[in-house]
Amino acid sequence: MAEFVRTGVEGRIGLIALDNPPVNAAGAALRAGLVAALDRLAADPAVEVIALYGEGRSFIAGADIREFGRPSAGPWLPEICNRLESCEKPVVAVLHGAALGGGLEVAIAAHARVAVAGVTLGFPEVTLGILPGAGGTQRAPRLIGVAAALDLITTGRRIGAEEALALGLVDQVTQGDPRAVALAAAGQVLAGRLPTRRTGDIHITPDPEAIEKTAEALKHSQPHLFSPHRCVEAVATAALPLPEGLAEERRLFRLCMDSPQRAGLIHAFFAERAVAKIREATATPRPVGQIGVVGAGTMGSGIATACLLAGYPVVLVEKSPEALARGSAAIARNLDGAVSRGKLRPEARAALSLDTATAAAALSGCDLVIEAVFEDMSVKQAVLSEIELACPGALIATNTSYLDLNEMAQGLDAPENFLGLHFFSPAHVMRLVEVVVAAETQPEVVATGFALARRLGKIAVRAGVCDGFIGNRIMSAYRKAADLMALDGTPIAAIDAAVRGYGFAMGPFEMGDLAGLDIGWAARKRQAATRDPAARYHGALADRLCEAGWFGRKTGRGWYDHSGDGPVPNPEIPRLLREIQAAEGITPRPLDAPDIVARYETAMIMEAARVVEEGIALRPIDVDAVFLFGYGFPRWKGGPLHQADAIGAAEICARIERHALDNPRFWQVPDILRRMARAGGRFADLNRED
């Protein structure tokens, strides 16, 4: 235990150093070590003041999240905070790196706090589906007031040292090495220049108005989530005597801990980090200085914006001068937006380097060129050859969303330098990038894709080559399920409402109208020759809308009519539907909300299972990350395959078999699910680190 927590005595000062790399998570060993250290120094007659600090990157980044939902050993953080607060000798905490969650709770149970500039403080528990359960909901309101505590605790917002000082969360901000700061702070306590007090003794001014206002606001802003509401209830009990408030906090904390949302949100936390653990991770990324982007449409200008925001010099190439001017204007608007939202300083904007050109020769100095031209194989192949000619040896990436990369690479002299970087629109906002690995893509090229994504502040997920890669392939399956439900007579507004009720921001038909129905129509026409004639054709209704020129919002009408104040279902749909149902012999069988979401979710899981089975995704958690960070999958549900585990493989198989009675071509049980159902397996078991 000594290795996690060390003590030292320097004159009248007792030092406690926490040392649990990489971030000083408060796991069982650190907790036990901390209590032992406190006891030791409290009993040492030479010690008059105790200073607590972290070695390495952080003070304490919070509880050890890996322990949640698993058996662990005491002492627990609430006891530690109480022990710390009741210590007879003054204890000062020195905060650097991260003082988050349980780490901040330890800090506010100490008798004074000194922040080292650059520290991040906050209560991110709510983002993990829980609440600060080690006295945070009781001590924070005493220290900084009910309204400020509610803000930090219900949003999980992270703040810096200066804001923490202004709020009264810390007593001083300073610079320096944490150990030296600890000694200096303890010296100040001894000299009476840094006052100390027990947070629990501070008189709390109740603020029922702030409680009510926050509770009301959360009802509207977080209708799906469980823990933000429990956070408010816990803070409301801070008006009680401390022991009673702490007991109530514990009760609410346990409710959160037992909620499936906690498991989903923690899965999402680890998914974000797991995706970088790929087999190519040991390869050294190639250095990337200048980046070229070919194609100045929505995707090209978004990608160029993302690269500029990350500080890369960018060359934007577009054959049509008009399109180039439009793309440059879009980039300028994006950058203006970044400045007005405070994401980019005006002087930094002025220093960004964007060159534009109409010929590929301008790409000669680029180390990486990303093409985002029209989604057509021969157009893409011609552009890739031009790029290779302009900058031989450079990495070349395609932003295609479904085309076959291996076919695309056929004309290249160096297919080993070629990969897919599939961005999501708007590319400078959306966090997901699928890094698509073709047959000849070299490991260091993959590693470069991941390094680039990291620098762009994005989450990269490795994907194999198939139609639609991970995300669009699975989306096309659940879109089909939605189309089939509509053909069977479930109103589109009911489907959209049910999908929103599941937690997506939009339903599939609302999304279709936003994106434009012409895109899907073009894809269906392209696929017409290879369509299975015996299978129910899901696109029949969408085709009729498109034939009428109704492409969604941009034409004023699509699935919905957008000409009035708010969208209303397109009034022509019932007539079109009756015609299709009569021609196809479909008896209408509208579904209710639970059946809608069950079908939608099952179609998603069915295709996701195939994507894992075929190795298109390395692990189930990669699929979950794609949906969490690129498709608006509700974070508290953890992702489609986390949900699959929650439902159970046997139940998923049973659902698919039931639906297959109506539509055996579409609903087919993937082998992997059948095996899991037989053996009682879970997708989580396949989330090994590759």
Among the listed residues 72, 117, 64, the one whose alpha carbon sits nearest the alpha carbon of residue 94: 117
Instruction: Report the DSSP pairing between strands 91-95 and 354-357.
Output: unpaired
The span from the CA of 26 to the CA of 645, in Å, is: 28
The dihedrals phi and psi of 442, each to the nearest 5 degrees, come to: -80, 150
H or E element in which residue 150 lies: helix 146-155
Query: Which of 33, 62, 245, 464: binder of ligand CAA (CB under 6 A)?
Result: 62
Q: From residue 131 to residue 150, what is the string marking binding to ligand CAA with x (rule CB under 6 A)?
A: --xx----------------
CA 262-263-269 angle, to 5 degrees, is: 90
The span from the CA of 474 to the CA of 491, in Å, is: 23
**Least separation in angstroms between CB 621 and ligand CAA:** 12
Nearer to ligand CAA, 61 or 481 (CB): 61
The residue count for binding ligand CAA (CB under 6 A) is 23
Query: Which of 5, 13, 95, 125: binder of ligand CAA (CB under 6 A)?
Result: 125
Nearer to ligand CAA, 24 or 602 (CB): 24
Nearer to ligand CAA, 100 or 148 (CB): 100
Q: How many CB atoms lie within 10 A of CB 30?
A: 20
The span from the CA of 671 to the CA of 62, in Å, is: 41
The span from the CA of 321 to the CA of 302, in Å, is: 18
Residues 333-352, interacting with ligand CAA (CB under 6 A)? none
* Binding of residue 370 to ligand CAA (CB under 6 A): no
Say whether 164 sits in a helix, a strand or coil.
Answer: helix
Nearer to ligand CAA, 63 or 452 (CB): 63
* Binding of residue 14 to ligand CAA (CB under 6 A): no
Query: Which of 16, 34, 65, 246: binder of ligand CAA (CB under 6 A)?
Result: 65
**Least separation in angstroms between CB 18 and ligand CAA:** 13
379-398 in b/e burial notation, b at 16+ Cβ within 10 A? ebbebbebbbebbeebbbbb
Query: Which of 50, 100, 363, 616: binder of ligand CAA (CB under 6 A)?
Result: 100
* Binding of residue 101 to ligand CAA (CB under 6 A): yes
Nearer to ligand CAA, 48 or 151 (CB): 151
Residue with tokens 């994507």: 611
**Contact present, 305 and 351 (Cβ < 8 Å):** no
Nearer to ligand CAA, 61 or 427 (CB): 61
Q: For ligand CAA, which stretch binds (CB under 6 A), given 120-128, 230-238, 543-551, 608-616?
A: 120-128
Query: Which of 47, 81, 98, 362: binder of ligand CAA (CB under 6 A)?
Result: 98
Report the side by side order of strands in the sheet with 49-54. 5-10, 13-18, 49-54, 91-95, 112-116, 172-174
Catalytic positions, written as ranges: 105, 125
Q: Is 118 exposed, middle or buried (0-12, 13-18, 19+ CB in 10 A)?
A: exposed
**Least separation in angstroms between CB 143 and ligand CAA:** 17
* Binding of residue 66 to ligand CAA (CB under 6 A): yes
**Least separation in angstroms between CB 136 and ligand CAA:** 8
* Binding of residue 23 to ligand CAA (CB under 6 A): yes
Binding site for ligand CAA (CB under 6 A): 22-23, 25, 58, 61-66, 77, 98, 100-102, 105, 124-125, 128, 130, 133-134, 273
